[in-house]
Amino acid sequence: MTSIRNRLQFSPHWIALIDIAAIAAWGVLLLDYWINQKLTLLIHPNYTPLSVTTGFLLIAIAVYRIWTLLQIRKSKQPLPAVEHLSILPPGIGSLLLLVVAILGLLITPKAFASQTALQRGVGDIVTLTQVKPQSFRVTAKPEQRTIIDWMRTLQVSPEPDLYNGQKVRVQGFVVHPKELSPEYFRITRFIVTCCAADAYPVSFPVKLSQGDRTSYSPDTWL
């Protein structure tokens, strides 16, 4: 084990460069996701300012570390020893972080689709309890109700005849649940409370007056 650690050890100069590169790469990654609107696929919009601030802060730290490193090189002094408490050899942890950041820049995150919604239980009643009740607006006009408002309305009063003639304006992607007959599909969206890991689907049932749901392919945005 000791011999392997010795083989993987970098010089203090290279360790400093790898640390700086990892810090800068993660700052660039956060700002790139923000500029290209990828950040909303991974976290709730409320956390966007924090992520953007962190991105700028990481880049500022990287610039400061570069300036410090240049000052040390000009003075021809050895780099100060840094206490290392990680299981991995010095520099390896930062190298792994650098690789992950580069992969994040090269790979575009994908939005959740109908298959993910089915796997996470689209249409399950349990998902209705995860939405904060204080955002429910009973007095909202039918055409102004969001998909969440309609979900709660249908949960309280599921009789379809109560909504005859009411206008509905909701947006989402098409999902074909197997338990529904061919003239039905669901308009679905994902709700992100913190990050993509805790995202859950909310859906609105749609009955077609003519034809069947094959005219609306899964993942079609309506």
pLDDT by residue (tens digit) across 179-196?
778 888 888 887 777 877
Residues 102 and 137 in one domain: no
Residues 128 and 174 in one domain: yes
Residues 147 and 99 in one domain: no
The residue ranking higher by pLDDT, 127 or 212, is 212
With tokens 């996470």, the residue in question is 120
Counting the structural domains of the chain, the total is 2
Q: How is residue 211 annotated by DSSP?
A: S
- The per-residue pLDDT for range 55-90, each reduced to its tens digit, is 999 999 999 999 988 887 777 776 665 555 566 677
Distance CA 62, CA 26 (A): 10
For residue 221, tell me if it sits in a domain: no
Residues 15 and 61 in one domain: yes
Range of the domain at 172: 114-215
How many C-beta atoms surround the C-beta of residue 179 within 10 A? 6
